Amino acid sequence: MEHHADYTNVTGLSKKETLEHILTSYEALVTDNWVSNLSNCSSLLWHGYHSLNIPVNWTGFYLKQDNNGKRELVLGPFQGKVACQVIQWGKGVCGTAAATSKTQLVSNVNEFPGHIACDGETKSEIVVPIVKDDGEVVAIIDLDCLELNAFDEEDVIYLEKLAKLISKCL
Ligand code: SME
C-alpha cells in the first residue's frame, strides 16, 4: 500500500473478501498501542461495510472499566455519530454481550428488550465481545446499521476472529 488510507479503499470485493481484507489490514497496521489499533480498526470496519453498500451508521468499541467496584463499558474509538459514553454491564445489546460473553446478532433493535438507542435511526446491530485468553471480557465491538437484518453468521465468524486479534492489545 502506498498510503495508509489505501487500506480503506476497497471496492468490488465479495463480502467474504472484504471481511478478510479487514482482518489482514488490521494485522498489517497493528501497533503496541490499543488506541491506534481500535481507531484504525473502526475506520476499516466503516469503509469495508460501506464498500458492500451495507449502510452502517456506527462502527466502534466500548471498553470495560471499573467504577468503584462496578463493571461498566466506556465509549472507545469509533466512526459515526456521537454515542452514549457509559453503558452498564448487562444493559443494552453491548452490556449483554459483555456480561454473557456471547455475540449478540440483533436483526431488529426494536425487538431487543432494553436496547439502548444512541441513534434513533439504527435498525439492526451486532455486538461481539472481546475476550482475553483467560476468559475475561475486556471490550466489545459494536456495529449499527440503518437497515433491518444487516448482519448474518458470516459477520459473526469474521468479527469474532477480529475480536480475537484485538484481544492481544487490550
Ligand atoms: N445500541 C447499543 C448502545 C451503543 S450505541 O448503539 C453506539 C446497546 O443497546 O447497547
The helix/strand count (H/E) of the chain reads as: 4, 6
Q: Which residue lies with its CA nearest to atom 2 of ligand 1? A: 116
What's the pLDDT at 8?
Answer: 87
pLDDT reading at 161 higher than 80: yes
Q: How far apart are CA 16 and CA 22, in angstroms?
A: 10
Number of domains in the chain: 1
Q: C-alpha distances in angstroms, 59 versus 3, 12, 68?
A: 22, 21, 29
Residue 143 neighbours by CB distance under 10 Å: 24
With a 6 Å cutoff on the Cβ, whether 87 touches ligand 1 is: yes
Domain that includes residue 156, residue range: 4-167
Q: Which CATH number goes with the domain that contains 20? A: 3.30.450.40
CA of 1 to the centre of ligand 1 (A): 34
- Nearest-atom number in ligand 1 for the CA of 80 is 7
- Nearest-atom number in ligand 1 for the CA of 94 is 10
103-115 pLDDT tens trace: 999 999 999 999 9
Which are the contacts of 144, defined by CB distance < 8 A and separation ≥ 6? 56, 57, 58, 59, 80, 118, 119, 122, 124, 125
4-59 pLDDT tens trace: 888 988 888 999 999 999 999 999 999 999 999 999 999 999 999 999 999 999 99
- Identify the bridge partners of residue 145 per DSSP, sorted by sequence position: 56, 124
94-151 pLDDT tens trace: 999 999 999 999 999 999 999 999 999 999 999 999 999 999 999 999 999 999 999 9
Q: How far apart are CA 95 and CA 158, in angstroms?
A: 21
- Nearest-atom number in ligand 1 for the CA of 115 is 9
